[in-house]
Amino acid sequence: MAVRLHPDADQLVDYSSGGLSPALCVSVSAHLHFCDACRLRNDQLAEIGGVLLEDVNPELLGECALDEVLSKLDENTDIASKVVTGPQDVEPELAKLPQMVRSLLPDTGPRWRFLSPSLRVSKIPVGETRYELSLHKIKAGGKTPDHDHNGLEVTVVLQGSFSDESGVYNEGDFIVRRPGEIHKPIASQHEECISLSVEEAPIRLVGPVSRFLNPFFSFNPQ
Amino acid sequence: MLVDPSRDEWSDLLSKVGMEKDKEAFSRLFAHFAPLVKGFLMKGSSFGHELAEELSQETMIKVWRKADSFNRQKSSASTWIYTIARNSRIDWFRREARRQRILEADDLYEQAEDNPAYLSLVQLRNQKSIQKNIKTLPQEQLEVLTKIYYEGKTHTEVAEELVLPLGTVKSRIRLALKKMNLQLEAEEK
């Protein structure tokens, strides 16, 4: 199925030029995994970087620079021999997630926290303070609490699908929610839904259970 | 003095480094690209000589280590090396901010080999068109575009620095992309 929702041009440009925050960077990467059209756009934007690189005035390096670099080339060659294990060994259902997402998860599997009977969340530390990245898993047919946002929220569907008042979202969809856009995601009936989420500030739950659930959403940047 | 090989030859050299770990080929790439990477890093306001030197060496070491993932069908040598330099710059900023260095920039970006079914149509032809059209951009568009690429700043940061509304920065970029024949608006299906 074709991906329906994409990052906008500004986000792709900031991604390509290296300015996007790490958590958002991961969400765009996850989208690119599913979306050939945006991969093409991203390749085109990288070409701008290539052209600009060729266009600068070269700055001479120190006389010994090449020798120094040559002497370091044979160090640390263990990159290629990395053993391919991952969280999928513990949770086989994660095997279908994009490799770049799996590589961000601990080999022992994500540490899930139960936020409601149908919603589990696992934070992914990316070393930044403004945005928080996490993996969400909603049981098939599971409903999540209504929530609002204090800041930007980006969700990328990695597996399965979910819906809310505004539509159905499938694998690869890049869903942007802004403050005030309260929504209540529900996973599709036939399979669980795994998604990646970036939140700018703690989510505010609204409704009767919020008082109990809110502490779990405490903003705790790594 | 070495005759400058054409871009295709840079890709040949880079492929050779990737496949044969050829240090002679690497040295020629180094002679051409290391000073460009250094110049690129100094073009932004953040890096002085010493730091740019260190980062350009770091970039070239990564070029050596990762050369086997270079795919000439997908990008030119200069574009590929640009992304390595960009990631070195991101890593430097993250180190500098004394944030816990949990992940490297490479972990944050999508890797081509992640999706083998995908084959990009973008090749040198595309780069030539960008190269030609970038020269014709109005100064105000070029200024914003180069700030974003050379300095790794976001639209928002550039808007603050130039004291412009964010919308103006966004529309300058969009106009520039259009002039370079890059169609980036995702059309809803």
Going along chain B from its start, the domains and CATH numbers come out as: 1-118 (1.10.1740.10), 123-182 (1.10.10.10)
**Residue A145: pLDDT above 90?**
no
In the DSSP assignment, the letter for residue B121 is: -
Are residues B149 and A48, on separate chains, in Cβ contact within 8 Å? yes
Which residues of A fall within a CB distance of 8 Å from B146? Answer: 52
Give the three-class secondary structure for B183: coil
**Closest CB to A66 among B30, B49, B184:** B30
Q: Residue A216: its pLDDT value, please? A: 40
In a domain, A160, yes or no: yes
Structure tokens at B75: 């990008």
Q: Is B27 exposed, middle or buried (0-12, 13-18, 19+ CB in 10 A)?
A: middle
Between positions 50 and 109 of B, the ones with CB within 8 A of A are: 52-53, 56-57, 60-61, 64-65, 74-76, 78-83, 85-87, 89-90, 94, 99-103, 105, 107-109
Q: Rounded distance, CA B154 to CA B93, Å?
A: 14
- A185, A195, A196, A184: which is closest to A131 by C-alpha? A196
CB contact B133 to A (< 8 Å): no
In the DSSP assignment, the letter for residue A76 is: -
Cβ neighbours, 10 Å, residue A190: 9
Higher pLDDT, A158 or A221: A158
Are residues A9 and B146, on separate chains, in Cβ contact within 8 Å? no
Of the candidate ranges A116-130, A160-174, A200-214, B84-98, the one whose mean pLDDT is the lowest: A200-214
Q: Residue B1: its pLDDT value, please? A: 37
In a domain, A98, yes or no: yes
In a domain, A46, yes or no: no
How many angstroms separate the CA of residue A149 from the nearest CA in chain B?
A: 21
In a domain, A142, yes or no: yes
Q: Rounded distance, CA A98 to CA A79, Å?
A: 20
CB contact A39 to B (< 8 Å): yes
Report percent pLDDT > 70 for chain A.
86
Domain count, chain A: 1
Residue A38: HSE in the Cβ half-sphere, 13 Å Cα cutoff: 30
Q: Residue B2: its pLDDT value, please? A: 46
Q: Residue A214: its pLDDT value, please? A: 39
In a domain, A143, yes or no: yes
In a domain, A157, yes or no: yes
Residue of B nearest to A23 (CA): B108
In a domain, A74, yes or no: no
Extended beta strands in chain A, E state: 113-116, 119-124, 132-138, 147-149, 153-159, 162-164, 167-169, 174-177, 186-187, 193-199, 203-205
In a domain, A79, yes or no: no
Q: Rounded distance, CA A11 to CA A75, Å?
A: 37
CB contact A166 to B (< 8 Å): no
Cβ neighbours, 10 Å, residue A78: 7
Q: How confident is the model at residue A50 (pLDDT cuts 50, 70, 90)?
A: very high
Residues 6 or more apart in contact with residue B173 via CB below 8 angstroms: A9, A10, A13, B141, B144, B145, B148, B155
For residue A143, what are the domain limits? 87-217
Query: Tens digit of pLDDT for each residue in A93-113?
Result: 888 899 889 988 888 889 999
Which residue numbers in chain B have pLDDT < 70? 1-7, 45-46, 97-102, 111-125, 183-189
SS3 helix, strand, coil % of chain A, rounded to 5? 30, 25, 45
In the DSSP assignment, the letter for residue B185 is: P
**Residue A206: pLDDT above 60?**
no
What CATH number is attached to the domain comprising A188?
A: 2.60.120.10
